[in-house]
Structure 1
């Protein structure tokens, strides 16, 4: 089947590997039952009215001064115009940042001015906030250039007659809905046309397209067990849309229709995910995958007075606890595919999620993160989370700050395996090469010692048009040769759902993980089997490759990625030094010749994690054999 191209934050693809018809939300309430539960007239909102200054002062507490100061930075802000050529640049060069940088600057200004006005309540920020809203309402589209492929005419230039809902237009719609809810009467004191215009734009850019359209891929309208791909866009967009309906929509029939449609859509996301709860997009995306699903479920819970709740379902809890299990320490997380190895986790979100699923592990982990690195309340354009963060910040302190590396975690559906022993933490994956934000990385691993990375998953550079096009796998970070896996008989792994691991075994007692990666390579490689096994002990990791190849023609190559300083001068040992500590990769000098390749990192998304360069260590087999066993020892 021909690859479907989209110029978005993801690859649109088909996969039958995960989808299960759970339909948890629809089973909790059909449309008629929802109608009897749904709280109307915005009475579900638990925050005080704008004019209730005493309660707002109590709500903001010690954050009040800080949030007002953030708004004051924009009192003289010059609102930027996103030019036509800024949109066109994405089509011309693939650069999306030019348009986004200007647009995001304006949106952050709006959000900061809004929350500052809510904190101070004196009208000082209203004129400048009105300027920002007016400027946004005058824009042809609220979507970013990289996502305008959702338009019927595709491309990256906005079409006045085709409003599409993407991540950013949804964020704007939700934020503007909160602004409308709290401040419409204040705007009316200035000029009633301001509120009228704001309501009109939310209606025409979000509510009406959502009710009328089924074509946006993230809605997963026709997703079935035979044909489904649903990732973080689904809960992210739906969480935004349900806020717009619940805060702005006055017609009860349209409100009911919109909310129920969102329930059906979010069910598709839950159906697509595995029972084990792991996020195949990685911890960097958890906050906008499972985390946004939580936001959606919490809003629905509040809007039905707790009538619709699936928080007790074990899968929902598993999806939350995944983020605690994937944390290594010192800001490092288990990363695969496009996820980054460094991630700032939202401990307030983690706490709220954990509280609703009754997970002490998540609540204590949130407290641990807060103690490790307390963060100021963000004034970014996610107003729902901003208000929720302010509500929950103090509650976190009730819990002991605890995070213990679980000795063994196995996600049998997603095929992730985590093991820890002594100061070592190991993570590896099976899976298949068509996962969300996929890299060709079946069988790869990462190893940390004392919470410092020794062997790494590089991650991905700054997103461009190429990242989500047919050229994706020409980018080196996507290729299996730049992961900790072998190049076999001259072949790298291929992209596609049929390229997958098989015969996986994860043994908790022996701390081993075994899989056959032969099917991850093209048939031309002639691989009958390539069984890779990992065994973790207190001070070492043993890697064994047992292989059988038909008509081997090219010597095999074992690849290892590291950010440390590499010394391969001593035969049989590669020394890797990281922060004055040296680790050894021990190999049979009669079987392999080592080669190290320094890779300069000129992309800030990579260099910000790993520094100016990383190193690929390649063990090149001296002989071409059809069968054999390789054994590698890593000592810490």
Structure 2
């Protein structure tokens, strides 16, 4: 039994003993109350390992792939029924790769990451190959005539011949010294995409083994050998940081989306390739302990990596839990936990409409979302809002099909809910408010079409930007004041120079520069006294601790109030010294006019707002920021703007007020 189970048993024993001695003694009663509070605050959730012991798990397992709900490859009628209208598009997707030339990922492609910081040199050909294999597998399942098998075999052989399935940028997961981010034949690492490749080949083995054996039994043997060598054995014999399992080299690592992403992929490998019951049980239990670490880490359901990462964070947790539920014939299922439902529903609560989402951290401001996947997760947690939101997404993007980013498991699961999604009434209405008190995210909306997203938090969140106290503001689902997002990932993005990138810096977010000083990165730089009042529709936070000592700020209380016709922002501050004029930054796009003193007019598409400020207090400047990266220009166009209001006087204490009004 694990330590957490012992802790829970000890708690239960203490409480029962105290009850047995005397339920009438006030001191005993007080003891029980204190004990209950203590454990409610400090006890880990450990939902999965609390479900069973390792021995009980072994008895629950559905062996020999009998958990698979999809038809055998040869059952053409069943596949036609399952895929329905998606059959044609899946075959067409595969046909595009019938003449595909498999790409070699060269040694210098790996080396380019160390030499230039460019990840794409290695990733592009690798991902192109994986896209091809995924499309070909789904096409062959849809058609069943063997037309795609030779290309699938070539793709499998190409992957098996690679020294490593790990991306050049991800060799940092090794405990060894990283040398030019180059694959080491003696070290089998498990990362996001190596585990995904293992899962994809495992599904190919499951569905096509008989067909492969007709060509040459060595094909199936090779898949088994490589998955065992690269995934099954290393997972049980190495301690990767993303598992968050002890022993730790230094301290417990911070858990992020790598945990459920990798665990969901490798669970598929074990479920499809391991038929020794004892070995399978040990691997599954280890993965349960690991995924518990991710669930334990969650504070309140918010995805601090942004909605764009939700599908590979909470979404991958859903993949994992869905697989585990099948493997145990429903005996291990935690979808009824409110904490899991909160994590699921974040995807629609952070959606503004028209494809726009609240994009704190590295997420893009635009995200279509996959309606099939959203519906499946919503159904699992019994969220009618999510299921109807999924139908809305499908209506908005009817071209989206069941195929899902080189993920065979998701594609096939999507197929099982396609019909019921089509029959679901599309409804999407932004909630009046969504308040995440631990993550300190707050979203508010009103009947007049205004939507406000604000945050407190701290400057070491996953995929963090220095943006404590920042906000986004939308009119009729059109962003007005924005978070730019992030450009293409390079070596600098996740290295010591991360905050030299302008999109990461607080002075390119909607927050002040205090005494000429920007916010600093790190967990100690945080918001304090963050509060939300749903009746007054206010969000208040003190952002002074997000700045270094050189800012000489003792208090900077920022207050947002969403009103019927706009937004009021108040900054009340106290400085210990005055060193430089304070600057208030607002990031925006579209057409911006600053010609009228005291008023800034912004028009984006059909939406117009005016920002009012005190022209006696501030001078104004408008900076054009060209967007040279496609990842950003594809969202905002060629240019965005930074609007800077600079205080005309130095004062130790004061209050600034800004009014944002919707205009006709």
- Report the Cα offset of residue 153 of structure 1: 3.8
Q: Partners of 1:106 and 1:373 in 2: how far apart?
A: 26
Q: Partners of 1:452 and 1:414 in 2: how far apart?
A: 25
Q: 1:465 to 1:19 in 2, by over 3 A?
A: farther
Q: Partners of 2:522 and 2:560 in 1: how far apart?
A: 25
Q: Partners of 2:269 and 2:145 in 1: how far apart?
A: 26
Q: Partners of 1:227 and 1:515 in 2: how far apart?
A: 29
For residue 70 of structure 1, the aligned residue among 93, 103, 112 is 93
Q: Partners of 2:96 and 2:434 in 1: how far apart?
A: 46
Contact 1:112 1:379 in 2 (8 A): no
For residue 71 of structure 2, the aligned residue among 23, 43, 48 is 48
* 1:99 lines up with 2:122 in the alignment: yes
Q: 1:550 to 1:27 in 2, by over 3 A?
A: same
- Report the Cα offset of residue 324 of structure 1: 1.1
After the TM superposition, which of the residue ranges 58-67 and 624-633 deviates more from structure 2? Answer: 58-67
For residue 134 of structure 2, the aligned residue among 86, 102, 111 is 111
* 1:292 lines up with 2:316 in the alignment: yes
Q: Partners of 1:345 and 1:436 in 2: how far apart?
A: 21
The 3-state SS of whatever aligns with 1:221 is coil
- Report the Cα offset of residue 580 of structure 1: 4.4
Q: How does 1:386-535 map to 2 (within 5 A)?
A: 386-421=411-446, 422-535=448-561
Q: Partners of 2:143 and 2:607 in 1: how far apart?
A: 52
> What is residue 209 of structure 2 aligned with on the other side?
184
Q: Partners of 2:452 and 2:405 in 1: how far apart?
A: 35
Contact 2:584 2:645 in 1 (8 A): yes
Contact 1:536 1:542 in 2 (8 A): yes
> What is residue 135 of structure 1 aligned with on the other side?
158
* 1:542 lines up with 2:568 in the alignment: yes
> What is residue 146 of structure 1 aligned with on the other side?
169
- Report the Cα offset of residue 19 of structure 1: 8.9
TM-score computed with the length of structure 2 as normaliser: 0.91
* 1:233 lines up with 2:258 in the alignment: yes
Q: Partners of 1:569 and 1:605 in 2: how far apart?
A: 32
- Report the Cα offset of residue 128 of structure 1: 1.4
The 3-state SS of whatever aligns with 2:84 is helix
For residue 203 of structure 1, the aligned residue among 221, 228, 234 is 228
Contact 1:562 1:614 in 2 (8 A): yes
> What is residue 575 of structure 1 aligned with on the other side?
601
- Report the Cα offset of residue 397 of structure 1: 2.6
| Deviation by residue 1:380-434 (Cα, 9 ceiling, x = unmatched) | 3100001011111111133221111111211111100111121110000000000
The 3-state SS of whatever aligns with 2:411 is helix
Q: Partners of 2:439 and 2:351 in 1: how far apart?
A: 17
Q: Partners of 1:363 and 1:395 in 2: how far apart?
A: 10
> What is residue 364 of structure 1 aligned with on the other side?
388
For residue 25 of structure 1, the aligned residue among 29, 35, 48 is 48
* 1:90 lines up with 2:116 in the alignment: no
Contact 1:171 1:382 in 2 (8 A): yes
| Deviation by residue 1:262-307 (Cα, 9 ceiling, x = unmatched) | 0000000001011x21111110000000000001000000100000
Q: Partners of 1:134 and 1:361 in 2: how far apart?
A: 44
- Report the Cα offset of residue 526 of structure 1: 1.4
| Deviation by residue 1:558-583 (Cα, 9 ceiling, x = unmatched) | 00000122111111111112114431
Q: Partners of 1:343 and 1:19 in 2: how far apart?
A: 36
| Deviation by residue 1:521-550 (Cα, 9 ceiling, x = unmatched) | 001211110000001111110000000001
Q: Partners of 2:479 and 2:583 in 1: how far apart?
A: 22
Q: Partners of 1:91 and 1:514 in 2: how far apart?
A: 44
The 3-state SS of whatever aligns with 1:271 is helix
The 3-state SS of whatever aligns with 2:592 is strand
For residue 566 of structure 1, the aligned residue among 572, 592, 598 is 592
- Report the Cα offset of residue 217 of structure 1: 1.2
The 3-state SS of whatever aligns with 2:621 is strand
Q: 1:530 to 1:379 in 2, by over 3 A?
A: closer
In the TM superposition, structure 1's runs of 4+ consecutive aligned residues that sit over 6 Å from their partners are: none
Aligned residue pairs: how many?
Answer: 617
> What is residue 14 of structure 1 aligned with on the other side?
none
For residue 358 of structure 2, the aligned residue among 334, 338, 361 is 334
Contact 1:223 1:229 in 2 (8 A): no
- Unaligned 5+ segments in structure 2 are 1-40
Q: Partners of 2:564 and 2:167 in 1: how far apart?
A: 49
- Report the Cα offset of residue 223 of structure 1: 8.7
Q: Partners of 1:82 and 1:372 in 2: how far apart?
A: 38
Q: Partners of 1:513 and 1:411 in 2: how far apart?
A: 12
Contact 1:206 1:244 in 2 (8 A): yes
Q: Partners of 1:66 and 1:19 in 2: how far apart?
A: 51
Contact 1:20 1:271 in 2 (8 A): no
Q: Partners of 1:521 and 1:529 in 2: how far apart?
A: 10
Greater Rg by CA: 2
* 1:268 lines up with 2:268 in the alignment: no
- Report the Cα offset of residue 21 of structure 1: 1.5
Q: Partners of 2:606 and 2:450 in 1: how far apart?
A: 17
The 3-state SS of whatever aligns with 1:302 is helix
The 3-state SS of whatever aligns with 1:235 is helix
Q: Partners of 2:277 and 2:147 in 1: how far apart?
A: 35
The 3-state SS of whatever aligns with 2:518 is coil
The 3-state SS of whatever aligns with 1:130 is helix
Contact 1:332 1:451 in 2 (8 A): yes
> What is residue 610 of structure 2 aligned with on the other side?
584
The 3-state SS of whatever aligns with 2:73 is coil
